[in-house]
Chains A and B, each alone.
Chain A
Amino acid sequence: MQLDQLYQEIILDHYKRPHGRGLRDADDPGDQVAEAHHVNPTCGDEVTVRVATDGTVLHDISYDGMGCSISQASASVLHELLRGRGAGEAFEVHEAFVELMSGRGQVTPDEDVLGDGVAFAGVARYPARVKCALLPWMAFKDAAARAGVGVSPEVKA
């Protein structure tokens, strides 16, 4: 196996220098704030994702957690990609990421949609690690739903 496909420079960069790490309160007191804590029971990785939103725009996505490079880098990329986006747009990115990770390496990612998330294309070829990459994204989905911005029903994740 090609280890560098899994551990792309982008992933290692996000792992070593995570963006936006740490749980934060909302800047705007009018925002709905909610969080979700997800664990991977097979390895013990944990992540908490917090969403602050006015119902239209995701003003902040903050997170904290402990785990492997893949799960922690994935949280950093999630923050980077979705913070400040409109909810509808954010869920399109979410859907694209889930599709990429479920594709067993057969899905060609669109860099315009996924940004640094394309680096995870290699991870999709390692079934044991797909859950690591998805952990923060699943926590995000739950947190967003609790903050009142649910995924529209036709989007399957």
Chain B
Amino acid sequence: MTSIAIPSGMPQYDNVPRFDVARVRADFPILGREINGHPLVYLDSANTSHKPRQVLDVLDEHYARHNANVSRSVHTLGTEATEAYEGARAKIAAFINAPSTDEVVFTKNSTEAINIVAYAFSNATLRPDADSRFRLGPGDEVVISEMEHHSNIVPWQLLCERTGATLRWFPVTDQGRLDESGLEDLVTERTKIVSLVHMSNILGTVNATSRITARVREVGALLLLDCSQSVPHLPIDVVDLDADYIVFTGHKMCGPTGIGVLWGRGELLAAMPPVFGGGSMIETVTMARSTFAAPPARFEAGTPPIAEAVALGAAVDYLTGIGMQAIQWHEKELTAYALDALGSVPDLRIFGPTVPVGRGGTISFALGDVHPHDVGQVLDSLGVQVRVGHHCAKPVCSRFGVPAMTRASFYLYTTTEEIDALVAGLEQVRKVFD
């Protein structure tokens, strides 16, 4: 394949862990489906991933055998459900190398996780006794980037409106990388929090965060990383990342919908005021006032998505069994293959990095001036499922001067044959709209 020899003593290609894709595919019942008379070619895993039998079985088993509410029952079923729920938390903590299980807060999804942090700032701003790190006012700044999903833009816009703080952002380069050239001017003593996407859901860019982290530490701000697209696809170690918060969502990593995670440094979560009030998040309640439980319970008001959390634990087991490094490498090979294959399609323009370095397996593109809706519709008629539209990242579309993009995204079950099917489908699109 390559004529460049890697010097001996260095890691060789053969040393990279691999897995049998055909065997993995057999775990996913939906991959056996036909769409419009063609075998399903699912290239929309950045949107949501499919679920293996191992996860579906756990979901089913939970309701069939262990269903009860958590954290409030002395009976056997209640104990089993609580153990399963808390066991899932421990699995997820280990998966991201969290120093403590109590740092893992279950949420509905990444969006809710980001909103919890934003509203904790808001609530702290209203309480004179709150930790000053979370108090915001005019003159304070929140920094995001032009590369964000709407879920990492709108909560901060709303927070700034409520508090009078100013929202600022990193631009994006023509190559689809984060433009860090203005870092020193952008992240300053006025900055209270920097909230950045780790891997872009639209450009596929994986942001190298170390320079930004160093600057954030220097000015005493906090750093949140939106890892919705990275935790499912790369080995993530929160100690290594040295962020203050990360958020991710279960349904993009072989788990069910309705379950996500806010990870925060223990000391920070403990200093944050609650956001949602209700059952399970309290220490004691009187008619006049309440005191609150320690994290993570403080941020998990009400009956949580129990079965979903347990199934997310099973998803983490599944991914760990295959190996995150092996998954990362598989997707890197797919991305290299796809960039090459898409490059052979006439009139195709890729948005974002065109080399398989510092990027994941999510590729957005334009095909001539055919509207992405039409591209997606023709591909669907051939069984190829891609996402079209603005991908909840309208500022990125504006940055590249288009109203919408077509996006193909890969996962552990994606094959090079599926990328071939995409390329063949794009030829069909050209025929219809030529």
Contact = CB atoms under 8 A, between A and B. Distances in A.
Interface residues of A, number: 19
B168 interface: no
B193 interface: no
Contact of B433 (A6, A43, A69): A69
Given A43-B404, A44-B397, A68 B373 contact: yes
Interface string B353-376: 000000000000000000111100
Given A3-B432, A67-B371, A67-B403, A43 B390 contact: yes
A7 B381 CA distance: 12
Given A1-B36, A43-B404, A44-B397, A68 B374 contact: yes
B388 A43 contact: yes
Interface in B392-434: 394, 397, 403-404, 432-433
Contacts of B404: 43-45
A69 B434 CA distance: 12
Interface string A58-90: 000000001111101000000000000000000
Contact of B389 (A42, A70, A126): A42
Contacts of A129: 373, 377
B377 A45 contact: no
A42 B373 CA distance: 11
Nearest to B432: A7
Interface string A3-14: 100110000100
A155 B50 CA distance: 44
Contact of A66 (B378, B380, B390, B403): B403
Contacts of B388: 43
Given A67-B371, A68-B371, A69-B433, A43 B377 contact: no
A129 to B, nearest CB: 7
Contacts of A44: 389-390, 394, 397, 403-404
Contacts of A1: 36, 380-381
B377 A6 contact: yes
B378 A3 contact: yes
Contact of B373 (A3, A12, A43, A46): A43
Contacts of A72: 371
B389 A43 contact: yes
Contacts of A70: 373-374
Interface in B82-96: none
A6 to B, nearest CB: 7
A132 interface: yes
Residue of A43, A66, A132 with most partner-chain B CB within 10 A: A43
A69 B371 contact: yes
A11 to B, nearest CB: 10
B137 to A, nearest CB: 32
A45 B403 contact: yes
A43 B394 CA distance: 10
Interface in B155-212: none
Contacts of B433: 12, 69
A1 B394 CA distance: 31
B248 to A, nearest CB: 24
Nearest to B370: A69
Nearest to A41: B390
A38 to B, nearest CB: 14
Nearest to B35: A1
A72 B389 CA distance: 16
Nearest to A70: B373
B217 to A, nearest CB: 38
Contacts of A46: 403
A141 to B, nearest CB: 22
A60 to B, nearest CB: 26
Contacts of B373: 43, 45, 67-70, 129, 132
Interface in A67-117: 67-70, 72
Which 7 A-B pairs have CB atoms at the shortest separation, nearest pair first?
A68-B373, A68-B371, A3-B381, A44-B403, A43-B389, A44-B390, A1-B36
Interface of A: 1, 3, 6-7, 12, 42-46, 66-70, 72, 126, 129, 132
5 contacts: A3-B377, A6-B377, A43-B389, A68-B374, A69-B433
Given A68-B371, A68-B372, 14 more contacts: A1-B380, A3-B432, A7-B377, A7-B432, A44-B390, A44-B403, A45-B404, A66-B403, A67-B373, A69-B371, A69-B373, A70-B373, A126-B377, A129-B373
